[in-house]
Structure 1
Amino acid sequence: MAAATRAPRRRDDRCIENQQPALRALPLGVKQKGILATCNYVARRHGIKKLMPIAEAKKLCPSLVLADGENLSPFRDVSKRLYALLRSYSWNGRVERLGLDEVFLDVTDVVSYNVELLNRNALAESFFCLSRSNPEPGFPYDATSFAGCVWGADDEPDPGAHTLRMRLLVASHLAHHLRMKVEAEGYTTACGISTNKLLAKLVGDKNKPQNQTTLLALTQPALLAFLDPHPLRKIPGIGTKTAALLESSLLNTSLPDLPDPLTSGALRAAPTTSPASLTALLSTPGADKSLPSRIWALLHGADPSPVKPARELPAQISIEDSYGRAGLAGREWVYRALEGIVVSLLGRVGVDLWDGESGRWRGWPRTVRVAVVAGRWKRVSRSCALPGWVLHEIAAAEAAKRLVRETVGPLFERLIPVSVLNVCVTNMVGGEADGSGMGDIGEMFRRRGVVERSIAVTEMSDNGDVEGEWQEEEDGASDTWDDYPAGGDDAVDADGKSGGSRKCLRCDRLIPGFAALAHERYHALELEEDR
């Protein structure tokens, strides 16, 4: 049983509206560089969309109010706080965060427990237990009807006798309870309730921005009636290039009356579509071998991907900035830019790894990695041990300058000018610092067997692919706007998920985790040239 909870106005523009309530009735966009990172629903009624160039958005709506989105720290803080709120209601820990504003919860165990507690003779007076061991935490609810909206016909002759229907009904009341908790914090939410992540995400979009929808599809025909009208490109897990390939394969078959855009149902029902044909079409060099079978399952409403338990610590924390085609030509300019990035990075480290309640570090990175794009395309990455003094001086005004001058800057003395800078801390270890928050970081490092100072170099070719040996480095969070599909781990993950290679949603190529940022920048520059 999966529930997809989303703040559809995105927590980022909602953060700004909470700070300035007068903006709620105005078309509002959040900008990052020359792109509109996101916008509220007032702006969307003018035809404005996310990731639209600001100049184009201004033409559609001259009265558009723009807020600076370069610093994501306030938005990440809200995302982290609301994620912790939702996770506190999970029994199994399967709470998966995608980007800043979307969370999946596997509530199978909670729902199963409460279905067993139902009194069939008094469903209208039910009580939802939020704890196995303590009967007091919970809330009363009416188990004779669904909470929120329902997609599908509820025509069972004996509704209480259908197990799946009752489980969905109980889950809808839990979703409503969680939504009210989030909205009490001042943030609107939408939610989808279904049996897997694919369906929960799709049905959650039906009644945005401030409602929830349960998919009541108790038979396979009913499920396909819901899924089939969706455009193929809207199905999470099917990338842009894969969708284009599937569309072109059908256009070449001269099948009549194909919808435009191609829908999931049209592809599934086409006589030329089969597991074998998908395998033949999609089995290209470098492609994910499981892709054909996964797409076949998605077309039939099956999504075996689990809700992934969250990591206690992010795999890495990184911040990147770009400086146009001219780049930064002088050493002093590069150092100033690095200092600004490191200031933000150390702030992120404090937010993500410092436990204010216990007064200690939850963990600490052992490695600092710096990546630059030198010249037009070539990306070089170097890493070394993070000095232990940073832990004790992280809040000091001179900490960033010292780290740049002594550790980060010397790695790239010969790589100027640069057009992109990325600074990352990674290789996390758990912290058992004392109550003062200044535990023996040296002892932590010795206990974990940290190696001596080392430097690694990775070079990127002109097309964004890796030359030479791929490093075994974990992927993590970068300070970029992210909007993840339910079907996979793409680009960069705000939760810092680890992983080897992952599929690019734009070109469907498998990219190693540590190269994801470079590959993303490659596509961004492609778009700039097209304009």
Structure 2
Amino acid sequence: MKSAVAATVTTALPAQPQHGAARAKVGEEKNKEADGDDRVILHFDYDCFYASVIENAHPALRTRPLGVRQKSILATCNYVARTRGVRKLMPVAQARAACPDLVVVCGEDLAPFRDASRRLWAFLRGAVAGARTERLGLDEVFLDVTAAVVYNRALLNPNALRDSFFHLSAEDPERGFTFDATRFAGCVHPPPDGQGEQHAGAGAAVLDDPVRVRLMLASHLAGYLRRRLEEDFGYTSSGGISTNKVLAKLVGSVNKPRNQTTLLPVQGENTIQEFLDAHQIREIPGIGSRTSSIIADHLFPPGKAVRAGHQEPEQQTPSGITVRDVLRYPDMSPALLSRILDRPGAERGGGKKIWNLLHGRDASEVKEAGVAPTQISVEDTYMARPLNTLPEALRELSVLATSLVRRMRADLTTAAEELTDPSSAGSAGLPLGTQQKRRWLAYPKTLRLSTCAHPGKSGSVSSTSNPSFSRISRSQPLPSFALDLGRPCAEVAERLVREALLPLFRRLHVGRAAGWNLALLNVCVANMVPVAGDGSSGSGGGAGGRDISRMFRTQGERLREWSAWDDDATTTTTTTTTMMSSPSLSPPRDRNDLFDGKAEGGAVANGGSEEKNDVEDAGSASAETELWAVDDGDSDSDVGWEDEDGDSVAQQRCAACGHVVPTFAMSAHERFHAMGD
């Protein structure tokens, strides 16, 4: 049953306040600095996402305090629980003490959350034509809707603004929604005063400020998408609308949950900088906790009683230092920030980057993500009971490997074609009754294992050399059998542990058979290689790499006009024509098409032909059916290449001297005889 949808909050377009010309010019210039481009960025943050996934699966839990547990910590909780004093990242025991009737659900299996996130992202990705979509984690999405806003700005009718229509696609004029173009949807920041709460008036005067009009249009688009997320999928969300990613993400948190906020520049006032000044520096996206601590320790070291503006600091911790404190520090500049952050391994230009972020300037683009992730990582922690023996490590590696193989098949494969045997679906790790086999969208090239010793445990070599709880890693090429979709997940995972992960583990902990005190294990596959899309289904048991068979089937015709024909050749025209139209060679073997020594399409690895009935293997041809080169050696249409494993190549017997020569060298061998004559 769908939950009731919150009514759309609308705010009138604030009237422009009248200020002195000088103040108006200064404020406008400062706003334009932070507003440095003409983009329109939306940010969506799903409310209590993990808890919402559980509630959608079990609607009876919507009205009860609910917490999602991972290990002994609450990863998140719903807003019913938060009204009872429960907070996310709270220990489970403490949460139960605060709320005895708290319903705690295990959330260590992330598969349901990934599936829900993928569905919501797919909707947002296809909702607006021309928009770019970037997913941040499982519960946040950026949309660059500049193109759609510019298109709809041109279609606004000044005489009918209250009955405007937002077009989601220029190709389909009926796809869209109606809206009132005299108001913002949702909230605006700064909040309008008494004068701004009135209508800005109808007609062309509303369209005088292009920035405000773009943000107004974007606010209605954000409200429409949020309603669709709630009505069609059952997930509430918070939204932020601004001109770059940093500002959109920050302003989206102002009126959470189930609401949205537009950061609105006001003429004559530096509203964007005032909005940023109130934030702690570690809250600014792009400034991590480590960077904020370095800045705080340098500018306001412990024990220093006076901070910027000769004011007593509220706290002597980095979390209490705001953007205003940093910017009002004497002689603060990008150069000073660069000197503060200058250390081995530091990013070049880091001071300028931080300076821009503190002023709300962010030129980073919304990165259009591909269908396949850039890497897949599975890990688990063992803080309470660190791993110290090989059986313990093998048990956990087996669990992680099984989860990794399942995620690879879920995230990196797609339906290919109908299965001839429906019962074979279960053997490939798919639900029974599935009628489609899978092909790879992308396949990883690298397998990486990372471990981390418990920092508080003594007696461990790793923990002694790793006091900061940092990870150590080893990697290797991913074995090809890990991409075999024809084998069950458990079988592939067991072999992966035995032949890859265990050797990596021993390389990480050389000379020590036990006593590692490991608090973390992480298994990751990375370096994704995209696979051809339509028409390249790949083999059911392989990686399904690029389909180059069509190139070899047609290269004879494509190379015909550049081929040199020997009029004195003794071979028949029929044989030559057959060679050109149906080359007998196999293409160079690609490792993505081979699993357990078999080539795609069943061709053997030593140069066997995919179409064996046309021409027999050159190495077994008799003298009466010899294969002769049909060109001057530049064309490779009849060459069987040696593969990377050293398998034999096709050979021919010379009619002049009787020697056996590789096929690709026959032309040169014939020219040798001609020179001798």
Q: What is the Cα deviation at residue 318 of structure 1?
A: 1.6
User: What is aligned with 2:221?
Assistant: 174
- For 1:188 and 1:397, the matched residues in 2 are separated by 37
Equivalences for residues 115-134 of structure 1 within 5 A = 115-134=153-172
Q: Contact (CA 8 Å) 1:365, 1:426: kept in 2 or not?
A: yes
> Which residue of structure 1 aligns with residue 291 of structure 2?
242
* Cα-to-partner distance string for 1:240-269 (whole Å, 9 max, x where unaligned): 233334344146455422552332223323
Contact 2:538 2:593 in 1 (8 A): no
- Identify if the C-alpha distance between structure 1 residues 207 and 442 changes in structure 2 by more than 3 Å, giving closer, same or farther: closer
- How has the CA–CA distance of structure 1 residues 53 and 116 changed in structure 2, closer, same or farther, with 3 Å as cutoff? same
Post-superposition CA distance 1:342-375 (Å, at most 9, x none): 2211221122112248753212223333334475
Q: Contact between 1:93 and 1:310, CA under 8 Å: does it hold in 2?
A: no
State which of 206, 222, 231 in structure 1 corresponds to 2:280.
231
RMSD of aligned C-alpha atoms?
3.1
SS of equivalent to 1:132 = coil
Shift of residue 94, structure 1, vs aligned partner = 2.5
2:117 maps to 1:89: no
Query: What is the match of residue 346 of structure 2?
Result: 287
Query: Superposition pairs for residues 481-500 of structure 1, below 5 Å?
Result: none
Specify whether residues 286 and 330 from structure 1 end up closer, same or farther in structure 2 by C-alpha distance, changes over 3 A only: closer
Write the mapping of 1:23-172 to structure 2, written as runs, cut at 5 A.
Answer: 23-92=61-130, 94-152=132-190, 153=192, 155=196, 158-172=205-219
Q: Which residue number corresponds to residue 2 of structure 1?
A: 41
2:27 corresponds in structure 1 to none
1:409 is aligned, of 480, 502, 517, to 502
Query: Is the 1:83–1:103 Cα contact (8 Å) retained in structure 2?
Result: yes
Cα distance change, pair 39–295 in 1 and its aligned pair in 2 (3 A)? same
Q: What TM-score, normalized by structure 2, do the two folds share?
A: 0.61
Q: Which runs of 5+ in 1 are unaligned?
A: 454-531
Q: Give secondary structure in 1 for the equivalent of 2:42.
A: strand
What is the CA-CA distance between 1:74 and the residue it aligns to? 0.5
- The residue that corresponds to 2:262 in the other structure is 214
Deviates more, 1:398-407 or 1:131-140: 398-407
The question of 1:368 aligning with 2:368 is answered no
Deviates more, 1:158-167 or 1:400-409: 400-409
- 1:441 equivalent in alignment to 2:543: yes
Q: 1:232 & 1:291 partners in 2: Cα distance?
A: 15
2:480 paired residue number: 387
**More displaced 10-residue stretch of structure 1: 409-418 or 269-278:** 409-418
CA distance in 2, matches of 1:427, 1:35: 32
Q: Tell me how far apart the structure 1 counterparts of residues 482 and 296 of structure 2 sit (CA, whole Å).
A: 56
Q: Comparing 228-237 with 104-113, which one deviates more in the overlay?
A: 228-237
| Aligned partner letter, 2:540 | M
Matched, 1:189 2:237: yes
Which of 303, 311, 319 is the equivalent residue of 2:370?
311
Residues 470-518 of structure 1 show CA distances to partners (whole Å, capped at 9, x for unaligned) of xxxxxxxxxxxxxxxxxxxxxxxxxxxxxxxxxxxxxxxxxxxxxxxxx
Return closer, same or farther for 1:332/1:213 CA change in 2, 3 Å cut-off. same
Per the normalisation by structure 1, the TM-score is 0.77
Residue type of the alignment partner of 1:256: H
Identical residues among aligned pairs (%)? 44
Instruction: Give the whole-Å Cα distance in 2 for the aligned partners of 1:326 and 1:147.
Output: 51
CA distance in 2, matches of 1:69, 1:360: 29
Q: 1:8 to 1:396 in 2, by over 3 A?
A: closer
Quick one: distance in 2 between partners of 1:448 and 1:126? 56
**SS of equivalent residue, structure 2 residue 233:** coil
Q: 306-315 or 149-158: which moved more?
A: 149-158
Which has the larger displacement, 207-216 or 91-100? 91-100
Task: Give the drift of 1:430.
Answer: 2.3
Aligned CA distance change for structure 1 residues 333 and 282 (closer, same or farther; 3 Å)? closer
Aligned to 1:175, what secondary structure does the other structure show? Answer: helix
1:256 is aligned to 310
2:59 corresponds in structure 1 to: 21
Q: Distance in 1 between matches of 2:589 and 2:149?
A: 42
Give the greater-gyration-radius structure (CA). Answer: 2
AA aligned opposite 1:441: A
Cα distance, 1:160 vs structure 2: 2.1
Residues 288 and 369 of structure 1: CA distance in aligned 2, closer, same or farther (over 3 Å): closer
Query: Contact 2:439–2:543 (CA<8 Å) still a contact in 1?
Result: no
The residue number in structure 1 matching 2:408 is 349
What's the counterpart of residue 248 of structure 2? Answer: 200
The Cα offsets for residues 46-77 of structure 1, whole Å up to 9 and x where unpaired, read as 44333333334334334332211211010011
In structure 1, distance between residues paired with 2:544 and 2:188: 56
Question: Is 1:361–1:437's contact at 8 Å kept on the other side of the alignment?
Answer: no
Distance in 2 (alpha carbons) for counterparts of 1:198 and 1:442:
40
Deviates more, 1:444-453 or 1:307-316: 444-453
> Cα 1:229–1:437, aligned 2, differ >3 Å: closer, same or farther?
same
| 1:178 alignment partner, SS class | helix
Aligned CA distance change for structure 1 residues 87 and 451 (closer, same or farther; 3 Å) = closer
5+ long unaligned stretches in structure 2: 1-39, 315-319, 418-437, 454-459, 467-471, 548-587, 596-677
CA spacing shift, 1:366–1:243, aligned 2, 3 Å: closer
- Describe the shift of the 1:114–1:93 C-alpha distance in structure 2 as closer, same or farther (beyond 3 A): closer
Of the structure 1 ranges 373-382 and 345-354, higher mean CA displacement relative to structure 2 is found in 373-382
Judged with a 3 Å threshold, the aligned counterparts in structure 2 of structure 1 residues 52 and 160 are, in CA distance, closer, same or farther, namely same
Label 1:196 to 1:62 Cα distance change in 2 as closer, same or farther (>3 A): same
Q: CA offsets per residue over residues 98-140 of structure 1, 9 Å max, x none?
A: 1110111111111111101111111112111111222222122
Task: Give the CA deviation at 1:86.
Answer: 0.6
Q: Output the amino acid matched with 1:217.
A: P
CA distance in 1, matches of 2:545, 2:141: 36
d(CA) in 2 for partners of 1:270, 1:396: 58
Q: Distance in 1 between matches of 2:150 and 2:542?
A: 45
Deviation at 1:199, TM superposition (A): 1.3
* TM-aligned CA deviation for residue 447 of structure 1: 7.0
How many residue pairs get aligned? The number is 452
- Following the alignment from structure 1 to structure 2, what is the Cα–Cα distance between the partners of residues 364 and 279? 40
Q: Deviations over 1:374-394 (max 9, x none)?
A: 754463423233224642235
Larger CA deviation: 342-351 vs 35-44: 35-44
Q: Secondary structure at the match of 1:303?
A: coil
Q: 1:429 aligns with which of 529, 544, 547?
A: 529
Partner Cα distance (2:289, 2:106) in 1 = 29
- Range that drifts further, 117-126 or 430-439: 430-439
Task: Work out which structure has the larger RCO, using CA pairs closer than 8 Å and 6 or more positions apart in sequence.
Answer: 1
SS of the aligned residue for 2:62 comes to helix
